[in-house]
Amino acid sequence: MALVMSCREIWREISNYLDDDIDPALKARMEVHFAQCRHCSVLLDSVHNVIVLTGDGRSFTLPAGFSQRLRRRLTDYLSSASR
């Protein structure tokens, strides 16, 4: 098993990490990656914030076109990260 994790591996496991549903060795490897990768640590914080926001029972309206812009930015980022 590789010691260094790629961002893609982190993204696949981030939900399990937040649910604390991964083995301790994988969790430790992810925490090393979060400490070294600003992009993934921001993603971790963002996903955590989304969970908190959706879990508090309040709702809010997103601006028109938000979903499309978010999808486009994520696709662009993933494309550039895989190069």
- 5 secondary structure, DSSP code: P
Does the residue 2 lie in any domain?
no
Q: How many domains does the chain have?
A: 1
Phi, psi of 80 (to 5 degrees): -75, -30
Query: What pLDDT, on the 0 to 100 scale, is given for residue 31?
Result: 96
Query: What pLDDT, on the 0 to 100 scale, is given for residue 34?
Result: 95
Query: What pLDDT, on the 0 to 100 scale, is given for residue 50?
Result: 85
Does the residue 28 lie in any domain?
yes
Does the residue 1 lie in any domain?
no
Residue with tokens 């028109």: 64
Query: What pLDDT, on the 0 to 100 scale, is given for residue 78?
Result: 82
Amino acid, single-letter form, for residue 14:
I
Note down the domain range covering 69.
Answer: 7-81
What is the model's pTM?
Answer: 0.64
Report d(CA 4, CA 9) in Å as an integer: 10
Residues lower than pLDDT 70 in the chain:
1-3, 59, 82-83
Query: What pLDDT, on the 0 to 100 scale, is given for residue 1?
Result: 47
Length of the chain equals 83
